[in-house]
Amino acid sequence: MIDVRPFNGLGRFDIDWLAARHHFSFGSYMEPKRMGFGDLRVWNDDTIQPGTGFDPHPHRDMEIITYVRKGAITHRDRLGNEGRTEAGDVQVMSAGTGIVHAEYNLESEPTQIFQIWIVPSATGFEPRWEARQFPRDGRAGELVVLASGREGDDGALRINQDAAVLGATIKAGQSVTHQLGAGRKVYLVAASGSIEINGVPANARDGVAIADEPTVDIKAIEEAEIVLVDVA
C-alpha cells in the first residue's frame, strides 16, 4: 500500500502568525480516517511568522520530534532547558509525566517546521529535552537516523518507542532505499522537491503512507529533502 495524501488536501488552521497543515486529526481538524498511522499520532507542517510562536503550554506522555525546515525555533521549558534549533537540525521532547514548554520564532524570517508526535511505549517516563545538529550535507544521498528508540541507533536522538525518524537529501535522479520490517509502516514527506516511491509520484509536502511494502525505493525527480518515520 502506498497512499499519497496531497498537501492541498491536508487539514488546515490559519491565523495571523501561524499557517498549520495537519496530516492527521489535530485540534479543530477531525478526520476519523486519519487518527494516526501506527504509533505515529501527529505530523504537523507549521509556518510561524517572525517574533511569534507557541506560548507556554503542557504536554504529557508523548514523544515530540521537531524537524526544522527553514529558519530556527527557540525552545524554553520549565525544567530549565533552552535552545535554538536551526534549519536541518532536530529536537526531541519526551513529555513523559508532564512538561510545560514554549516555542518561538525569534528570527527575522518565517520559520517552517515539521512537528511529529509518536506515542511512547509506556506512560510515566521522565520528561526531557534534547537537540542535535544534523547538517544536510552529512546526509546527502543516504538516509540518516535522526531520532530513534531502536537498538543500535546510537548516533540519534533518543525516543521512548520502537520507532525511528530518518532524513536524507537526494539529488535529481538519485535514489535511497529503506527496508521495511514485518508489521512495520512508514510515513514519508518530502520537505522539498518531487519524488517517486516505488514508482508512485509525490510532490513536496505531500504525505505518503506506506505499508506491506518490504522495500521502499525513494527516487528524486528533482533535488529533494525527505523525512520519514518508521513505526509499528
Comparing CA positions, the residue from 54, 27, 53, 60 lying closest to residue 42 is 27
For residue 138, is pLDDT > 90?
no
Mean pLDDT of 196-213: 98
Phi/psi of residue 183, nearest 5 degrees: 80, 5
What is the model's pLDDT at position 136? 85
Read off the pLDDT of residues 157-190 as tens digits, 9 standing for 90 and up: 999 999 999 999 999 999 999 999 999 999 999 9
Q: How far apart, in whole angstroms, are the C-alpha atoms of residue 75 and residue 93?
A: 10
Mean pLDDT of 129-147: 93
Counting the structural domains of the chain, the total is 1
Query: pTM of the prediction?
Result: 0.97
* CATH code, 32: 2.60.120.10
Q: What is the signed CA dihedral for 156, 195, 113, 98, rounded to 10 degrees?
A: -50
Residue 9 sits in which domain range? 2-231
